[in-house]
Amino acid sequence: MAYSSETAITPAPRSNENRSTTPGSAGFKAYISSDWAERTETLPPAREQAPFASARRDRLSAIHPGQRLIIPAGRLKQRSNDTDYAFRAHSAFAHLTGWGSDTEPGAVLVLEPTATGHDATLYFRERAGRDSDEFYANPDIGEFWIGPRPSIAQVASDLGLQVRGIADLALVMNTIDTETLVLREADPIFTTEVDEGRLRFAAEKVLTTDASDSPFSLEVNGDHAADEQFARGLSELRLVKDDYEIAQMRLAVAATGRGFEDVIRDLPRSSAHQRGERLVEGVFNTRARSDGNAVGYDTIAASGPHACILHWTRNDGAVVPGDLILIDAGVEVDSYYTADITRTLPVDGTFTDVQRRVYDAVREAADAAFAVAVPGAVFRDVHAAAMAVIAHHTAAWGMLPVTAEEALLPDNGHHRRYMVHGTSHHLGLDVHDCAQARREMYMDGVIEPGMVFTIEPGLYFQPDDLTVPAEYRGIGVRIEDDILITADGPENLSAGIPRTSEAVEAWIAALTA
């Protein structure tokens, strides 16, 4: 059975016939398709990231000689009824094409094997002519609904890639073989079509080959090990950032810093509202939309005891003077690269003695982790350095039933009660970038120049934790910075955002004066 790109790549819009008033008379159709000005098509120069994306594809090609590689962008995801979430292409697709927030949903990148490597072709649904009803009647892709769409020539020039219309993808899909690899998670519906193509290929081989000697099996559809290895490789390809990626990370960090300043300036208003955390979130999100594409992840605006909840994103609490507010937020720029920064602020501008004691301990742990984050070190050593400081302070404050040294033994870890998360994760196109990389490449991997990751220790004393002295209960502190590894050592990309207790107090005073 032949593959149809119309059904697999661009499904029909969700039905709204029971409320539709879209005109369909012959007179209307004739009139709306006439008297439009000629389009003037200007071909853009290749975007800055095009040569970097090309180099990434070359690296991927060298890893998979002779295999067809398919990386879909993904498609719109339904939020409710006929409304969708804002589209975001899969990070691997963005990495290999250079397309970012302007990616067209449903696009697919194919690397076709050649004698010397691979030919890369991008397939996407080009704009409809005004002689069709698509441009006014299709709310998924119609120009009247979502705006102008680029032409094939414009996208090819922009990305420095060979580009073809989505209908031509059928030519690829009808020649799928069992060696073809697909990024499964990007578009499950499309992946099903690839699996069916593999089954057809395997079945044809069984029919034309002596079954007793055939290496082909109809069980190929259930064996995804090769695809999973492909996904790991795509993740590992991003462990070391190139110059373009590092520049984008700097932009994201700078925009995030401006977002924190906006939040501080608005603290008097936020602290006067019964759901002030929502105002903090909204202020930061405004900066993310004005200076970038969006937030890189749901903003955490956790005030008071909410700061002890690691992923507090409900953000519906009050921002009370005298409390701390933990803000974990990052701007994602149009290329999809995101920052991930946390600052813990005294709402009224001044730390209490106990709050300062906890804050300074967390900052000390962060500094210890930063000191060991050098080329040649093992990634997990960053976490170990921070944990040694956390163990020391929690023992000194009488929270542990053992000494700090005993707590740090592999079979113990009592201090982890107050910081159960890790200290670092890679950062880039995803807030938790390279997450599918093998452990030996990630947690047990060697730190290299070009890596970007967070350092984010914290202490969280739950309000009902009886192991904690009463004056500490309900205090949560995290300090998170984005770190670039250079040949000369670590660089704190977010060092310009105040992080010592004294600097934070001065920062708040200056912005709220």
Structure confidence by residue, pLDDT tens digits, 474-509: 999 999 999 999 999 999 999 999 999 999 999 999
257 and 207 both lie in a single domain: no
218 and 348 both lie in a single domain: no
76 and 220 both lie in a single domain: yes
CATH code of residue 96: 3.40.350.10
Overall domain count for the chain? 2
266 and 160 both lie in a single domain: no
| pLDDT for res 407 | 98
450 and 394 both lie in a single domain: yes
C-beta of residue 481 within 8 angstroms of C-beta of residue 366: yes
Q: In whole angstroms, what is the distance from residue 474 CA to residue 170 CA? A: 59
| pLDDT for res 441 | 96
205 and 261 both lie in a single domain: no
280 and 202 both lie in a single domain: no
10 and 151 both lie in a single domain: yes
Which residue, of 212, 236, 260, is where some domain finishes? 236
Q: How many CB atoms lie within 10 A of CB 215?
A: 8
**Which segments in the chain show pLDDT lower than 70?**
1-19, 209-223
- Kindly report, residue by residue over 427-458, the tens digit of the pLDDT: 999 999 999 999 999 999 999 999 999 999 99
- In the chain, the percentage of residues whose pLDDT exceeds 90 is 83
| pLDDT for res 8 | 42
150 and 61 both lie in a single domain: yes
Residues of the domain holding 99: 5-32+40-236
Residues, the chain: 513
CATH code of residue 357: 3.90.230.10
C-beta of residue 57 within 8 angstroms of C-beta of residue 94: no
Which residue, of 207, 236, 265, is where some domain finishes? 236
258 and 175 both lie in a single domain: no
Q: What are the distances in angstroms from CA 197 to CA 125, 173, 457?
A: 21, 7, 48
For residue 430, give both structure tokens: 């995803």
Which residue, of 206, 236, 266, is where some domain finishes? 236
Q: What are phi and psi of 184, to 5 degrees?
A: -65, -40
112 and 223 both lie in a single domain: yes
227 and 374 both lie in a single domain: no
pTM of the model: 0.93
Report the amino acid identity of residue 125: R
